[in-house]
Amino acid sequence: MITSVELRIIVVLVLPASESMPLAGWVQSPGHPRGYDPDSSLNWTECAPAGLKTTLTLTHLDLEEAYDCENDFLKIYADGEVLFKLCGRKSTKELQTSINPFLHSSSGGCLFLSFLADYSNPVRHTGFRGFYTIQDVDECKDPENECTQRCNNYIGGYRCFCRPGYFLDPDQHTCRVNCNEDHTDSQEGVLMSPDWPGSSPENLVCSYTLSAKEGLQYEITFTGQFDVEMAANGQCKDSLTIKTLSGDETYCGNKRPPSPFISRSQHVEITFRTDDEGTNNGFRLRYKTIEMTCPGTVTENSRLIPNKSEYNQGSEIAVQCDEGHILNVKREYRSTCKTNGQWSLVIKCEPVDCGNPNLPDVTELTVEDPLTTYQKQITLKCTSEYYQMTGKGIFTCDASGNWVSESGQKLSEDLRRPMCEPVCGMNTEITVGGRVFGGKPATRGQIPWQLLHRSNPRGGAVLISDYWALTAAHVVDGFEDTTMIWLGGMVDAQDQNTVTMETKKIIIHPDFIKVGKNLEPDSFDNDIALIKMSARVPLGPNLRPVCLPNETIVEGLQGTVSGFGAWEKNTRSKRLLYGDVKIHPLHTCDSLGKTVTDNMICAGDDTGVDSCKGDSGGPFFYPRLKQNSADKPYRLLGLVSWGPSECGNKRFKGFYTKVHNYIDWIKETIAQN
């Protein structure tokens, strides 16, 4: 007797399939229906060809019941994944509702059964039985089959087809409207999207070709509603593109494109595209031919003479480049409007290129390989932390090809004032008190502007920039035509690891009374000289300039004097010594028979702190060591000039050249040399 379930399955068998493959059959446990023996097992596999699937209908299930089916079980796999692990007894209704609907493979997939009984079976169980079939897969029910309109299923596959008025794209899935139109030699007409003013069909690619005779162009005017789908982010989902020789313009949304649109080309291609969704209405436009004209621009960054918005055929104009742009051949050229709307001669106006600048010393670009054309900017910076920019350091490429600052200064010219000046008046050591004559030694970097001439004449100097130093005139008197070697960056006069500086020029103040080598003048008025080194001084933590004074001298002001001169018992010091002295009124200081002028400072200390022989030309600076701050640099008050022969005598004070009185002379001399 055939059950209702078995009868339904048998109907499937009449479907055509390959003769070499059975379309249906039974699978059952060993010994069914009498029952299976202990240690029984069965493995079964059935696969379907592409476009078909394997299905299984269990009609009977009676296995030993156990937790997690750990004794006897039936495992069912589809395409390598476990669908069920079954045991116990299930009714036909339970199998039909909760098991059988899921027992099938994918298209071209496989079903696999694994039956296993353990070593004992106290109660005899009949096992399982199922009916399998090879069935067709209805791909048309799959929403991912990509048919855009209609789908026809057949045994082993499916086919897409279209509604009337559409054709199937070569991709065999997309239905499109045949909406291509050729309007060659048409002088006027109307174009509209398919079904306008109704909703545009989906998946459209409509191409409208306009082609006029030479000497004519098209004027396009949009009329009626414009409704082309646009996404929320402003991107076009559907689009209308107008393509001419000069480029493409694409429109979407519900705002009508600007009209009239002048093609400036005798050929125009209009393309309308829609995606696979949306109910937008599309577009409508009118076109007509008009006489060809040429645009009011021949090339970018140029001007036309005469100047018009457009030109008729045959018009001849002069083309001149705008400021900051040049031609490779000449300043201007002439061009003629041709019948095709193009200019007979088009030469680009290229922007002026200032090129990579020749940078002043100790400066560099903040950005490597900057743009160097007209109106582009570059920014400079100092190459070392021991220099600071005197201005903003911003230069712009001008129309003449020069890099120019905001104030109009050209970077290519010799700058009166360096762009990067040394940071002055800063040291690198925390200091404690001390003395020159009988004082304590300085540490490295504590007085980095101190220079020393170690050989005869032994004396000091003060670094005021990366090329120039100041000293007392009597130290270098008679040595103007001699190359002197000065040392810096050390605190030990015998140190071999020093910075050596060779003089290029020695300029003694013109009002200093020269008396020659080893002779002492009656007056040390104007005892000041400038020294220019032959090469840039390599600045660093131990060799830095001091700042020039910017205010007048105040009596009672305390500063620091330093040098490698004599100290206790007039012994020449091997170390750089320093000490604090106070400025006294000139009339209170013993002049020792020499002429005292307002170009001098009298300073000393009641305890005997003093400068001494060998300190001449060295610095007297303020504030005192350890009293400066980052925003208050050390400044030069004076240069060690003259004093009593007995250093450290409390009755006498030392005299220093007042540097403040010579600021103008210093700056003018440096500028001229």
The CATH number assigned to the domain holding 216 equals: 2.60.120.290
Domain annotation covers residue 429: no
Alpha helices in 51-146 (DSSP H): 92-94
Output the known binding site: 64, 72, 118, 120, 136-137, 139, 153-154, 157, 229, 238, 275
Question: Residue 590 phi/psi, 5° resolution?
Answer: -70, 120
Beta bridge partner(s), residue 608: none
Beta bridge partner(s), residue 148: none
Please tell me whether residues 127 and 156 are part of one structural domain.
no
Residue 172 CB neighbours (<10 A): 11
* Rounded Cα gap, residues 159 and 147, in angstroms: 8
Please tell me whether residues 549 and 653 are part of one structural domain.
yes
Going by C-alpha positions, the residue among 166, 178, 167, 174 that lies closest to residue 147 is 174
Domain annotation covers residue 413: yes
3-state class (DSSP) for residue 387:
strand
The answer to whether the Cα torsion of 559, 565, 571, 575 is positive or negative is positive
Please tell me whether residues 396 and 459 are part of one structural domain.
no
Q: What is the 3-state secondary structure (H, E, C) of 21-58?
A: CCCEEEEECCCCCCCCCCCCEEEEEEECCCCEEEEEEE
Q: Is the separation of the CB atoms in 426 and 552 below 8 Å?
A: no
Q: Name every residue whose Cβ is closer than 8 Å to that of residue 78 and which is 6 or more positions away in sequence.
A: 103, 104, 105, 106, 109, 110, 111, 112
Among 580, 616, 641, 660, the one annotated catalytic: 616
Q: Is the separation of the CB atoms in 156 and 52 below 8 Å?
A: yes
Residue 285 CB neighbours (<10 A): 24
* Rounded Cα gap, residues 508 and 472, in angstroms: 9
Q: What pLDDT does residue 2 have? A: 36
Q: What is the DSSP string of 273-335?
A: E--SS----B-EEEEEEEE-EEES-SSSSEEEES--SEEETT-EEEEEEPTTEE-SS-SEEEE
Q: State yes or no: is 248 an active-site residue.
A: no
Q: Would you state the structure tokens that stand for residue 140, as one six-digit string?
A: 């048309």
Overall residue count recorded for the chain in this entry: 673
Beta bridge partner(s), residue 405: 395
Domain annotation covers residue 435: no
Domain annotation covers residue 431: no
* Rounded Cα gap, residues 609 and 625, in angstroms: 15
Please tell me whether residues 461 and 575 are part of one structural domain.
yes
Q: State yes or no: is 474 an active-site residue.
A: yes
Q: Is the separation of the CB atoms in 74 and 87 below 8 Å?
A: yes
Q: What pLDDT does residue 166 have? A: 80
Please tell me whether residues 415 and 461 are part of one structural domain.
no
Domain annotation covers residue 444: yes
Q: Is the separation of the CB atoms in 211 and 267 below 8 Å?
A: yes
Taking phi first (over 0 means left), then psi (-120 to 50 degrees means alpha), and beta for anything else, what does residue 292 get? beta
Domain annotation covers residue 358: no
Parts of the chain with a pLDDT under 70 = 1-22, 329, 413-417, 429-439, 515-521, 566-572, 607-611, 627-630, 646, 648-649
Locate tokens 């009626």: which residue?
Answer: 224
Going by C-alpha positions, the residue among 191, 274, 188 that lies closest to residue 230 is 274
Q: What pLDDT does residue 568 have? A: 58
Q: Would you state the structure tokens that stand for residue 387, as one six-digit string?
A: 């220099």
CATH number at residue 453: 2.40.10.10
Please tell me whether residues 337 and 383 are part of one structural domain.
no
- Rounded alpha-carbon distances, angstroms, from residue 14 to 9, 11, 23, 55, 417: 10, 6, 9, 16, 104
* Domain coverage including residue 407: 363-422
b/e sequence 91-106, b meaning 16+ C-beta within 10 Å: eeeebeeebbeebbbe
Task: Report the DSSP pairing between strands 166-168 and 239-244.
Answer: unpaired
User: How would you list the strands of the sheet with 73-78, edge to edge?
Assistant: 41-47, 110-116, 73-78, 81-86
Please tell me whether residues 162 and 212 are part of one structural domain.
no
Alpha-carbon 405 to chain mean position: 25
Please tell me whether residues 199 and 302 are part of one structural domain.
no
Q: Would you state the structure tokens that stand for residue 175, as one six-digit string?
A: 């239905």
CATH number at residue 324: 2.10.70.10
Please tell me whether residues 379 and 414 are part of one structural domain.
yes
CATH number at residue 159: 2.10.25.10
Question: Residue 635 phi/psi, 5° resolution?
Answer: -125, 150
Global pTM reads: 0.60
Beta bridge partner(s), residue 419: none
Domain boundary among 328, 351, 374: 351
b/e sequence 506-537, b meaning 16+ C-beta within 10 Å: bbbbeebeeeeeeeebebbbbbbbbbbbeeeb
User: How many domains in the chain?
Assistant: 6
* Rounded Cα gap, residues 500 and 488, in angstroms: 7
Domain boundary among 275, 291, 307: 291
Burial class (CB in 10 A: 0-12, 13-18, 19+), 641: buried
Domain boundary among 291, 325, 341: 291
Among 466, 525, 527, 615, the one annotated catalytic: 527
Q: What pLDDT does residue 4 have? A: 39
Question: Residue 351 phi/psi, 5° resolution?
Answer: -65, 145
Please tell me whether residues 162 and 188 are part of one structural domain.
no
Residue type, 158: Y
Among 453, 474, 509, 660, the one annotated catalytic: 474
3-state class (DSSP) for residue 206:
strand
Going by C-alpha positions, the residue among 236, 294, 290, 298 that lies closest to residue 260 is 290
Output the known binding site for Ca(2+): 64, 72, 118, 120, 136-137, 139, 153-154, 157, 229, 238, 275
Domain annotation covers residue 88: yes
Domain annotation covers residue 221: yes
Please tell me whether residues 58 and 167 are part of one structural domain.
no
b/e sequence 225-247, b meaning 16+ C-beta within 10 Å: ebbbbbeeeeebbbbbbbbbeee
* Rounded Cα gap, residues 226 and 200, in angstroms: 12
Q: How far apart are the first and last CA of the chain?
A: 127
Burial class (CB in 10 A: 0-12, 13-18, 19+), 3: exposed
Q: Name every residue whose Cβ is closer than 8 Å to that of residue 596 and which is 6 or more positions away in sequence.
A: 586, 589, 602, 655
Taking phi first (over 0 means left), then psi (-120 to 50 degrees means alpha), and beta for anything else, what does residue 196 get? beta
Please tell me whether residues 281 and 417 are part of one structural domain.
no
